[in-house]
Amino acid sequence: MKQDTPTTPPPTRSLLAKLATRVVHSYFALARGMTMGVRAACFDEAGRIFLVRHSYVPGWHMPGGGIERGETALEALAKEIREEGNLVVGTPPTLVHVYFNRQTSKRDHVLLYRCDGVVQTAPRLKDREIVEAAFFALDALPVATTAATRRRLEELAGRAPFADFW
Protein backbone atom coordinates (compact mmCIF):
# COMPACT_ATOMS: atom_id res chain seq x y z
CA MET A 1 0.00 0.00 0.00
CA LYS A 2 1.37 3.39 -0.97
CA GLN A 3 1.81 5.86 1.90
CA ASP A 4 0.73 9.44 1.51
CA THR A 5 3.65 11.81 1.62
CA PRO A 6 3.22 15.52 2.15
CA THR A 7 4.01 17.61 -0.89
CA THR A 8 4.48 20.80 1.10
CA PRO A 9 6.20 21.34 4.43
CA PRO A 10 3.98 21.89 7.46
CA PRO A 11 3.10 25.52 8.09
CA THR A 12 5.33 27.47 10.45
CA ARG A 13 4.43 30.42 12.61
CA SER A 14 5.49 33.81 11.44
CA LEU A 15 8.04 35.86 13.34
CA LEU A 16 5.24 38.22 14.39
CA ALA A 17 3.20 35.30 15.78
CA LYS A 18 6.21 34.01 17.70
CA LEU A 19 6.85 37.48 19.15
CA ALA A 20 3.20 37.92 20.13
CA THR A 21 3.22 34.53 21.86
CA ARG A 22 6.33 35.49 23.85
CA VAL A 23 4.79 38.83 24.90
CA VAL A 24 1.56 37.17 26.04
CA HIS A 25 3.44 34.49 28.01
CA SER A 26 5.63 37.15 29.63
CA TYR A 27 2.51 39.07 30.66
CA PHE A 28 0.94 35.94 32.20
CA ALA A 29 4.16 35.19 34.09
CA LEU A 30 3.88 38.61 35.74
CA ALA A 31 0.09 38.86 36.04
CA ARG A 32 -0.70 35.30 36.98
CA GLY A 33 2.68 33.88 37.87
CA MET A 34 2.90 31.07 40.36
CA THR A 35 5.59 29.00 41.94
CA MET A 36 5.60 25.24 41.91
CA GLY A 37 7.49 22.68 43.91
CA VAL A 38 7.67 18.94 44.42
CA ARG A 39 7.53 16.71 47.49
CA ALA A 40 8.30 13.03 47.51
CA ALA A 41 6.73 10.36 49.68
CA CYS A 42 9.71 7.99 49.43
CA PHE A 43 9.14 4.43 50.63
CA ASP A 44 11.84 1.78 50.83
CA GLU A 45 11.26 -1.96 50.30
CA ALA A 46 10.31 -2.33 53.99
CA GLY A 47 7.54 0.29 53.60
CA ARG A 48 9.35 2.91 55.67
CA ILE A 49 9.02 6.62 54.77
CA PHE A 50 12.07 8.84 54.30
CA LEU A 51 11.92 12.17 56.17
CA VAL A 52 14.30 15.09 56.56
CA ARG A 53 14.76 17.76 59.19
CA HIS A 54 15.94 21.11 57.82
CA SER A 55 18.08 23.68 59.62
CA TYR A 56 15.79 26.58 58.69
CA VAL A 57 12.29 25.25 59.44
CA PRO A 58 11.05 23.11 62.35
CA GLY A 59 9.83 19.54 62.06
CA TRP A 60 10.33 16.49 59.90
CA HIS A 61 9.24 16.73 56.25
CA MET A 62 9.19 14.71 53.07
CA PRO A 63 12.07 15.72 50.81
CA GLY A 64 11.32 18.28 48.15
CA GLY A 65 11.90 21.73 46.77
CA GLY A 66 11.12 24.20 44.01
CA ILE A 67 11.02 23.50 40.31
CA GLU A 68 13.57 25.72 38.59
CA ARG A 69 13.12 27.39 35.20
CA GLY A 70 13.84 24.93 32.42
CA GLU A 71 13.45 21.93 34.73
CA THR A 72 10.67 19.35 34.56
CA ALA A 73 8.85 18.27 37.70
CA LEU A 74 10.44 14.81 37.51
CA GLU A 75 13.90 16.31 37.09
CA ALA A 76 13.30 18.50 40.15
CA LEU A 77 12.03 15.49 42.09
CA ALA A 78 15.08 13.37 41.24
CA LYS A 79 17.40 16.27 42.11
CA GLU A 80 15.73 16.97 45.46
CA ILE A 81 15.68 13.38 46.70
CA ARG A 82 19.29 12.94 45.60
CA GLU A 83 20.41 16.17 47.31
CA GLU A 84 18.36 15.75 50.49
CA GLY A 85 18.78 12.02 51.02
CA ASN A 86 21.15 10.37 48.54
CA LEU A 87 18.05 8.57 47.26
CA VAL A 88 17.26 6.96 43.93
CA VAL A 89 13.84 5.67 42.92
CA GLY A 90 13.16 2.00 42.26
CA THR A 91 9.99 2.38 40.21
CA PRO A 92 8.87 5.46 38.30
CA PRO A 93 7.37 8.11 40.60
CA THR A 94 3.59 8.48 40.58
CA LEU A 95 1.97 11.91 40.73
CA VAL A 96 -0.51 11.64 43.61
CA HIS A 97 -2.01 15.11 44.01
CA VAL A 98 -1.52 18.85 43.43
CA TYR A 99 -1.89 21.14 46.45
CA PHE A 100 -2.18 24.89 46.89
CA ASN A 101 0.36 25.91 49.52
CA ARG A 102 -1.12 29.17 50.76
CA GLN A 103 1.11 29.17 53.85
CA THR A 104 4.12 29.85 51.64
CA SER A 105 2.54 32.44 49.33
CA LYS A 106 -0.63 33.22 47.45
CA ARG A 107 0.79 31.56 44.35
CA ASP A 108 2.59 28.41 45.48
CA HIS A 109 1.62 24.88 44.42
CA VAL A 110 3.10 21.54 45.42
CA LEU A 111 3.11 18.35 43.35
CA LEU A 112 3.17 15.30 45.60
CA TYR A 113 4.77 12.18 44.14
CA ARG A 114 4.85 8.68 45.57
CA CYS A 115 8.16 6.89 45.10
CA ASP A 116 8.31 3.18 45.93
CA GLY A 117 11.36 0.93 46.15
CA VAL A 118 13.57 3.89 47.03
CA VAL A 119 17.20 3.09 47.83
CA GLN A 120 19.66 5.25 49.74
CA THR A 121 23.03 5.09 47.98
CA ALA A 122 24.99 6.50 50.97
CA PRO A 123 24.13 7.90 54.40
CA ARG A 124 23.01 11.53 54.29
CA LEU A 125 25.48 13.54 56.33
CA LYS A 126 24.51 16.67 58.22
CA ASP A 127 25.15 19.99 56.44
CA ARG A 128 23.84 23.58 56.48
CA GLU A 129 20.48 22.60 54.99
CA ILE A 130 19.70 19.09 56.26
CA VAL A 131 20.49 18.36 59.91
CA GLU A 132 18.91 14.88 60.02
CA ALA A 133 17.50 12.41 57.52
CA ALA A 134 16.27 8.86 57.95
CA PHE A 135 13.71 6.19 57.08
CA PHE A 136 10.92 5.66 59.63
CA ALA A 137 8.26 3.01 60.09
CA LEU A 138 4.84 4.57 59.58
CA ASP A 139 3.85 3.64 63.14
CA ALA A 140 7.06 5.16 64.58
CA LEU A 141 7.29 8.64 63.06
CA PRO A 142 9.34 11.25 64.93
CA VAL A 143 7.29 13.31 67.38
CA ALA A 144 8.18 16.50 65.47
CA THR A 145 6.78 15.23 62.14
CA THR A 146 4.80 18.15 60.73
CA ALA A 147 1.03 18.11 60.63
CA ALA A 148 1.09 18.50 56.84
CA THR A 149 3.38 15.47 56.48
CA ARG A 150 1.10 13.41 58.73
CA ARG A 151 -1.96 14.49 56.69
CA ARG A 152 -0.25 13.49 53.43
CA LEU A 153 0.52 10.05 54.87
CA GLU A 154 -3.12 9.63 55.96
CA GLU A 155 -4.22 10.58 52.43
CA LEU A 156 -1.76 8.13 50.86
CA ALA A 157 -3.01 5.37 53.15
CA GLY A 158 -6.61 6.07 52.10
CA ARG A 159 -7.66 7.07 55.64
CA ALA A 160 -8.36 10.68 54.67
CA PRO A 161 -9.60 12.35 51.48
CA PHE A 162 -7.05 14.35 49.51
CA ALA A 163 -7.14 18.02 50.49
CA ASP A 164 -6.71 20.94 48.11
CA PHE A 165 -4.41 22.79 50.50
CA TRP A 166 -1.00 21.67 51.68
Q: Mean pLDDT across the stretch 77-96?
A: 97
Q: Which of 98, 92, 101, 82 is nearest to 146 (CA)?
A: 101
Alpha helices, DSSP H, located in the chain: 15-31, 73-85, 147-156
Amino acid at 11: P
Q: Mean pLDDT across the stretch 86-95?
A: 96
Instruction: Give yes or no for a contact between 114 and 96, defined as CB atoms under 8 angstroms apart.
Output: yes
Q: What are phi and psi for residue 40, nearest 5 degrees? A: -125, 125
Long-range contacts of 9-16 (CB under 8 A, 24+ apart): none
* Least confident range of 16-30, 33-47, 87-101, 139-153: 16-30
Going by DSSP bridges, is the β-strand pair 130-136/49-54 parallel, antiparallel, or unpaired? antiparallel
Q: What is the pLDDT of residue 105?
A: 79
| pTM of the predicted structure, to 2 decimals | 0.81
Instruction: Give yes or no for a contact between 86 and 78, defined as CB atoms under 8 angstroms apart.
Output: no
Q: How far apart are CA 151 and CA 137, in angstroms?
A: 16
Per-residue pLDDT at 161 exceeds 70? yes
Per-residue pLDDT at 82 exceeds 50? yes
Q: What is the pLDDT of residue 4?
A: 47
How do residues 37-55 score in pLDDT, each as one tens digit? 999 999 999 999 999 999 9
Q: What are phi and psi for residue 145, nearest 5 degrees? A: -65, 130
Residue 49: exposure state from Cβ atoms within 10 A (0-12, 13-18, ≥19) = buried
How do residues 53-67 score in pLDDT, each as one tens digit? 999 999 999 999 999
Per-residue pLDDT at 27 exceeds 90? no
